[in-house]
Structure 1
C-alpha cells in the first residue's frame, strides 16, 4: 500500500495466504487449508494453528492501513475479499485475454502492448517462498501461462518487424528453456532476419543436440522445416507476415536494451514507489525527470534500476536505452544510442555534436534511459535527453552534486535488506526449505553477509553447490574463515572485486586513509580518533573521511553527545580494508 510491501511471517502464514489469494472472493474451507498446509499429515492442533495464522494475517492487513476486513469468516472457512483491490495474477489473465482478442482483430501493435503490460506484472517466480505441494502445482501452472504469454509477445514483435530488438531476450529465453521449440523457432527467425544466418543454423544444431541428449528425440517438424528454409534462403517464406521485404528492412523498431530482469529480486518497494512518483508523474520544474540510485558496492543498485525499468517499460513506447558507463567513453555510448535510435551514415566525431544529434532524435519521444555505474557528472551530461518526455535512471557511488542541483533529481541511497527480505532472497534462490529450517541460522548467515544482496546470492549459490549442507554448516564455515570475502567470492563479479575497483578509483591519499582507518578498534568512530590513526590534524582527517563517505565506503551515523560527527564502517567493507592493509606494507601505504 503506497508502495510499501507487506511482510508475512513463517511458512504456514504464507501457505494460508497463498491458498486464499488463489481462490480470491471464494470461500476456502478449513479442511482445504489444513490439507494445503500439512499435506495430509496435520497435527491435532491444526485448526487452532490455522485460526492463529488468520488472526495474524488480519492484523498485518490492518497495520498496513486496510480499513475494510480483508479476510472474512464464511462457513465452512474463510474468504479473502478483494473489494477495492486487485491481484496481479488476475490483471495478468485479463491483459492476456485482451491481447488474444486484439490479435484476432489484426491489431498486433495494441496486442503487443497489452502483453508487455501483462508481463511487466511479474516480479519473480510465481509463489516464491511458499513451499507446499499445492503451491508447486499452482506455480507450475502460472509459470506456464507466463511462458505462453512470452511466446505470444515474441510472435507479435516478430510480426511487427522488431526482430533485432528482441534478439537478446530470445537468446536468454532459449538458454533458460532449451526444450521450448517455439522460443527456439522465434530465435532462429529473428537471427535470420537480422542477417545472422550462420547463428540461426547454429541455434538449430545446438537445439537438436540438446533435444537428443535430454529426451532422445529430434526437434519437431516446424523447426526442421524452418532450418531447411534458412539453408535455401527462402526469404519470402521467412519474411514478416503482411510486410514486404523492403518495408521490413526500412522499418526501425523501438530499441529495447534492458538487461535480463532479476528473477529473485526482493524488497525495495518503497524506493520503487518513490521512483514512480518522481519519474512517471513528472514535474513541470524538471526539464528531464531523473532519479539517481546510490549506495555501497554490492547493495543492489543496478538490480533495482533494471527491475523497475522492466515493470514500467510499457510506459516508454519509444524504447529503453541502457549503457554501462564503465565501458567506453561518452562518445562511444552516444554512438551506440544513435544507432539504436535509427541514425544512419557517418556519425559525429565530436561529443558535443553527437549529443546534439542524440537530443534531436529524442525530441517528442518517450524513451527511458538507464546510465549504470556513473562516476562523474562530466561523463553524464552529454547523455541526458533535452526534453521532459524522456526520463533517466542513473546508478553509481559518486556524489553527482552538480546533477542533483541542476535537475532537482531524486536521490535514493539504498541500504541493506531487512532480516525478512534477506531470508526471502535466500529462500528464493535456494528453492528449498533450508532457509526456513532454522530462523536463527538464517539470520546469522544474513548478518555475516551484511544483508547485502550480492553476498546473499553468493551464499545461496554456495549452498546450491552443496545440497547436503544446512544453512548452519555455511554459517560455521564463515565464522571460522579468516577471509569471509574470499569464501563468498564466486566469479569476477564478487563484492571483493567491486571494492577493489572502488579503492582504485580513490586518489592515493584517500586510498591510504581507507586502509589505515581499518586499524581503529571500533566500527563506529569520530574524526578525532581517525586523526590519530592517520597522523594528521582534525580538518585533514575530516576531509579524508568525507571523501570516503562520498564514495559510499563509510556511513555517517549522527553526532556524539558533545556534537562530534560519528562515522561507521559496514562490516564487510571494513574486512576489505583490513585485507587491503595487510596486503600493502604500512610504509608503502603512507607513501601513496
Structure 2
C-alpha cells in the first residue's frame, strides 16, 4: 500500500509512493505545512487563518481555508492516495498519521534512538541517518510566522543532532574525517560554542595544534567585538588544556558495545533530566507541595499548569534534580509533543530494551514499558502535554514510580481519573522576580537601580521566561543600564519585539497558548484587547 510522504526538512514536498504531488499556491502550502508540523493533532481554523494571512485575514478567511483544504484533499486523491488524509475535527483539521510518513517525525525518532543506543557505532549510524533526511533549510518556500518559528525550531534540532553526532564520532576516533564538516558548521554558525570546541578537539587530535588555537582566537575575537563578552568556560577550558597538552584530550575508548556485554543495557539506569535551571528562584510553596507527594503509597502524579512563560518546565526540572537520588532506578524525561509512540520508543531503549523487542504498536510498547517499571522506583517527567490521551500510554502502573506532567491546559481526565495533584503556577513574587533578573543580568546592575529593576520586573509580568530574556539582553549589552532597557520596553505595543531575539521569540510562545483556546475563548480574548484600560 502506498503511503503519503510529506517532507518539511527542506523544500516542502509531498508524494504518493514515488509520485510527486504538485501542491497549489502559497496558501495551500502553508496549510499543509501547519498540519504536517502537528501530525495527529487538531490544528484550529483560527491558527490556519493566522498563519496564512499573518494576523490580517480577510472577512472570508475561514471560507478560503476550507476551500484550500478541499483542494489539498482533491490533489492527494488525484495522485492515487484514496484515503482521507486530512480529517475535519472541531475546531479545525488534523493530518492522519497511520498512512502518512513525515520526515520531521522520522528525524525525531531516529535521533531519540541514537541518543538511547548503548553502542556508539549504532548511535552514530542513527544520527547520521537522521541528518541525511535534511534536504536544505526546513520549510523553504513556505510563508507565515508560525511556520517560520517552527522552521527555526527544527533548525535548532538539526544543529543539536550535528553536535551529538560529532561528539560520538570523536569518541570513535574519527577526528580526521570530522574536521571538514565541523569547519563548515562553525563557519555557518560561529556563535555555537560546542561546535567550536569540537572542531578544536578534532584539530588537536589530528596534530594541527596551531589551527586549533587559531579556531579559539577567531571565536574569541568575534565574541568580544560583537557582544563584549569572553567565550564560555567550556571553550576556555579546552583552550587551556590544549596549551598544556593535557593527556585527557587524547582519543579515548568508546563506550562498551552492546553485543560484547548485552547485560549492560538490561541494568541501565537512565538519567535523562536536562541540565538544572541556572539561577532558579522562588516557588518554595510549590516545591514543598511536590516534595509532599513522594510519600504516597499509590502511583503519584503531579500536574503543573500555567500560561506560556510562567516557568512550568523550569520548576519540573529543578525539582526533579533535587529529588533524583530518591529514584535509584532512573529518571526519564521527554517532551511529549513528539507523540506517545516516539516517546515510548526512547524510554524503552533507555531502559535497556533491544530494538527487536520494541513493537510498532503503541499499546504494545506501553504494556512493555509498564512491565519493566513494575518493580522499579523511577521518576518520569512528561513535559508540554496538550491532552490526557497524549500521556495516557506513558503512565506507569507501579506505585513506586512518580510522574510529573507540565501542560498549558488543565487535563481534567488526569485530575479526575488519576487524582493528580494540581499546581497552577502564576507570576513570581516581586522580590523573586527581581532576584531572577539579577541572576541573569548581574546582581550589581540590578541593585544599583532598585526602582527601575522593580518596574522592569513588573513590565515583564514577573514571568520567568520574560525575565530571563530581559536579563539576557542586559547581559549581552554591558554598557546598558537597567533603566535604559526599561525605557525601551515602556511602550507596550513594541514590548514583545524588544524582548525577543533570535534565540527566544516571546510572541510565538504566547501565540501557541492562544491557539489552544476554543473559538469563543479566542474571540473573547481578541475583543478584550480592544479595551483602552490598563488591566482587565
CA distance 1:272–1:225, shift in 2 (3 Å): closer
* CA separation of 1:292 and 1:197: change in aligned 2, threshold 3 A: farther
Q: Greater relative contact order (Cα 8 A, min sep 6): structure 1 or 2?
A: 2
2:347 matched residue in structure 1: 337
Shift of 1:197: 4.8
For residues 10-159 of structure 1, what are the structure 2 equivalents within 5 Å?
none
- How far did residue 432 of structure 1 move? 4.5
Aligned to 1:281: 295
* Mapping of residues 354-365 of structure 1, within 5 Å: 354-365=365-376
Asked if the contact 1:162–1:253 (Cα under 8 Å) also holds between the matched residues in 2, the reply is: no
Report if aligned partners of 2:241, 2:249 keep a CA contact under 8 Å in 1. Answer: no
Distance 1:521 1:338, change over 3 A: same
Structure 1: gaps of 5 or more residues: 1-160, 168-186, 525-567, 569-592
List alignment gaps of at least 5 residues for structure 2: 1-116, 124-163, 180-196, 205-211, 218-235
Q: Secondary structure at the match of 1:342?
A: coil
- The alignment status of 1:409 with 2:420, answered yes or no, reads yes
- In 2, Cα distance between equivalents of 1:445 and 1:248: 55
Q: SS of the residue aligned with 1:365?
A: coil
Say if 1:200 and 1:396 are closer, same or farther in 2 by CA, change over 3 A: farther
**C-alpha distance in 2, partners of 1:477/1:340?**
47
CA–CA distance in structure 1, aligned partners of residues 418 and 350 of structure 2: 26
Deviation string for 1:287-327 (max 9, x for gaps)?
A: x111101111100000000001111111111111111122x
Q: Is the 8 A contact 1:191 1:199 kept in 2?
A: no
Tell me the SS of whatever aligns to 2:368.
helix
Compared CA separation, residues 246 and 464, structure 1 to 2 (3 A): same
* Post-superposition offset of 1:494: 3.1
Q: Does the 8 Å CA contact 1:372/1:395 hold for their aligned counterparts?
A: yes
| Matched residue, 2:309 | 298
Distance 1:199 1:267 in 2: 48
In 1: Cα distance, 2:332 partner to 2:171 partner: 19
Please name the residue that 2:406 is paired with: 395
Deviation at 1:491, TM superposition (A): 2.9
Q: Distance in 2 between matches of 1:377 and 1:490?
A: 33
- Over aligned residue pairs, what C-alpha RMSD do you find? 3.4
Are residue 269 (structure 1) and residue 284 (structure 2) matched? yes
Q: Are 1:352 and 2:366 matched, yes or no? A: no
Equivalent residues of 1:188, 1:201 under 8 A apart: no
CA shift, 1:452, in A, is 0.7
1:153-232 aligned at under 5 Å gives the runs: 191=168, 197=174, 205-207=199-201, 208=204, 209=212, 213=217, 218-223=242-247, 226-227=250-251
Of the three residues 436, 443, 462, the one matched with 2:447 is: 436
Q: Give per-residue Cα distances to partners, 1:186-232, cap 9 Å, x unaligned.
A: x99994797685599766642442596466873544547733xx5xx
Cα distance change on mapping 1:356 and 1:225 into 2, 3 Å: closer
> What number of residue pairs does the alignment pair up?
329
Question: What residue number does 2:456 align with?
Answer: 445
Q: Aligned in 2, Cα 1:193/1:383: closer, same or farther, shift over 3 Å?
A: farther
Describe the shift of the 1:250–1:394 C-alpha distance in structure 2 as closer, same or farther (beyond 3 A): closer
Match of 1:307 among 318, 324, 336: 318
- Give the TM-score normalised by structure 1: 0.50
**1:370 is paired with a residue of what secondary structure?**
strand
Deviations for 1:95-139, whole angstroms, at most 9, x for unmatched residues?
xxxxxxxxxxxxxxxxxxxxxxxxxxxxxxxxxxxxxxxxxxxxx
- Helix, strand or coil at the partner of 2:321: helix
Asked if 1:458 is matched to 2:482, the reply is no
Counterpart pick for 2:478 among 437, 452, 467 = 467
Query: Could you say what secondary structure the match of 1:403 adopts?
Result: helix
Q: Secondary structure at the match of 2:377?
A: coil
Q: Distance in 2 between matches of 1:295 and 1:454?
A: 12
Displacement of 1:443 in angstroms is 0.9
Answer yes or no: is the 8 Å Cα contact 2:306–2:409 preserved in 1.
no
Residue among 260, 268, 276 paired with 1:253: 268
Greater Cα radius of gyration, structure 1 or 2:
1
